[in-house]
């Protein structure tokens, strides 16, 4: 069973609402999917996916982003990701919260790159002269097409966007799809797919912020973090990578055993003090879906999120907004009020050997998957 919804016209006031009920194999009736009849903005729609365990994931076609991840914990509902209540708040406060990032996640130094000896120049930030997350008003600002797909074991929202040749200086018409699925195993699955008609760069991610307390006035310092990574990428004062991959051993970057996040906030380590926490790529020791590459655990150990990915790196950012943190669902976001697990090829792949390859050719279909499992 599928429903397709085209982009709403600018002044379109149509409200869409669906409710799907499914009978699963043992005969129990399970309410698998509801799509809210509440508009999320002038052109944006909020989709609400609920599994058999009462876990609800709200996503929107504005930026193909996750808005809420509401988990039952000890009889109460806890929203464990940072987000806003309306599309307008994303536009005015922070467009990256929960969004799909592309064409290229992270910073491209000087906004320049070459493919097959052809040089390209992207728009750069006037503050630092680099290109961040594909340039201004990239994937995170677009209204994506949306398709709803129901399967016996999961329900999905399929977002698609066609990035025209030359958008933000990138070559090639790129057809991108991002699929958000919710399963009865409490998994949020993110599948990325893309194809291009010219050689181009492609390295997407999701900019989700987790705070497992559900309280944005609490720092994530008391969270515990496990990351199966022996190395991290060293960054410069402008948070571009330097090209050095450094061992995590005997540094605050060592999370090979689960440790408190406070170790990156209370240290005198130059790399942590440079960014006031973490804003670094971790090079994963392995990829795949047999064992988690990262785990975040709530302070009371009543909730955890496991990350599984086929990407070789994860960028962890600890929301060091200081006093500039936005109001989130009626509360002022505290400094270090969230942390990201942004799976991708490490930033620096354009500039440095050994950081990976993010060139996508027409004969290749891009596919990758990341799973966040809530326990």
Task: Convert the pLDDT of each residue in 195-249 to its tens digit.
Answer: 999 999 999 999 999 999 999 999 999 999 999 999 999 999 999 999 999 999 9
Q: Specify the pTM.
A: 0.91
Whether residue 81 is annotated as binding a ligand: the answer is: no
Mean pLDDT of 281-291: 98
**Residue-level pLDDT at 152:** 77
Whether residue 207 is annotated as binding a ligand: the answer is: yes
pLDDT level of residue 151 (50, 70, 90 thresholds): confident
pLDDT level of residue 43 (50, 70, 90 thresholds): confident
Contact 273, 266 (CB under 8 A): no
Whether residue 12 is annotated as binding a ligand: the answer is: no
207 is catalytic: yes
342 is catalytic: yes
Catalytically annotated residue among 167, 195, 224, 342? 342
**Residue 103: is the preceding peptide bond cis (ω within 30°)?**
yes
**Residue-level pLDDT at 36:** 53
pLDDT at 4 > cutoff 60: no
pLDDT at 68 > cutoff 80: yes
Whether residue 336 is annotated as binding a ligand: the answer is: no
* Alpha-carbon span 105 to 331, nearest angstrom: 28
**Residue-level pLDDT at 38:** 66
Catalytically annotated residue among 130, 167, 195, 207? 207
Q: What is the mean pLDDT of the chain?
A: 91
* Alpha-carbon span 64 to 100, nearest angstrom: 6
* Alpha-carbon span 151 to 51, nearest angstrom: 12
* Alpha-carbon span 28 to 198, nearest angstrom: 49
């Amino acid at each position: 069973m599928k429903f397709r919804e085209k982009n709403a016209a600018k002044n379109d006031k149509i409200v869409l609402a669906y409710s799907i009920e499914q009978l699963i194999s043992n005969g129990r009736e399970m309410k698998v999917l509801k799509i809210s009849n509440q508009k999320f903005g002038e052109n944006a729609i909020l989709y609400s996916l609920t599994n058999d365990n009462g876990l609800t994931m709200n996503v929107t076609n504005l930026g193909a982003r996750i808005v809420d991840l509401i988990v039952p914990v000890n009889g109460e509902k806890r929203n464990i990701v940072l987000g806003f209540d309306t599309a307008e708040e994303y536009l005015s406060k922070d467009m990256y919260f929960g969004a799909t990032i592309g064409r290229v996640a992270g910073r491209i130094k000087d906004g320049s790159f070459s493919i097959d000896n052809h040089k390209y120049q992207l728009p750069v930030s006037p503050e630092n002269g680099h290109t961040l997350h594909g340039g201004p008003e990239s994937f995170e600002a677009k209204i994506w097409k949306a398709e709803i797909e129901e399967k016996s074991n999961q329900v999905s929202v399929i977002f698609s966007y066609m990035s025209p040749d030359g958008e933000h200086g990138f070559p090639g018409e790129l057809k991108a799809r991002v699929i958000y699925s919710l399963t009865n195993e409490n998994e949020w699955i993110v599948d990325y797919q893309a194809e291009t008609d010219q050689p181009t760069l492609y390295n997407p991610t999701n900019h989700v912020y987790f705070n497992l307390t559900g309280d944005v006035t609490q720092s994530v310092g008391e969270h515990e973090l496990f990351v199966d990574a022996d190395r991290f990428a060293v960054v410069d004062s402008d948070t571009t990578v330097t090209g050095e991959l450094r061992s995590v051993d005997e540094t605050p970057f060592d999370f090979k055993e689960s440790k408190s996040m406070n170790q990156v906030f209370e240290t005198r380590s130059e790399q942590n003090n440079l960014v006031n926490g973490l804003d670094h790529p971790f090079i994963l020791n392995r990829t795949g879906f047999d064992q988690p590459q990262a785990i975040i655990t709530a302070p009371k150990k009543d909730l955890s999120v496991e990350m599984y990915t086929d990407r070789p790196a994860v960028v962890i950012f600890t929301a060091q907004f200081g006093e500039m943190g936005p109001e989130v669902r009626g509360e002022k976001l505290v400094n270090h009020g969230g942390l990201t697990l942004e799976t991708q090829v490490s930033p620096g792949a354009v500039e440095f050997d050994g950081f990976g390859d993010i060139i996508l050719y027409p004969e290749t279909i891009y596919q990758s998957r990341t799973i966040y499992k809530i326990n």
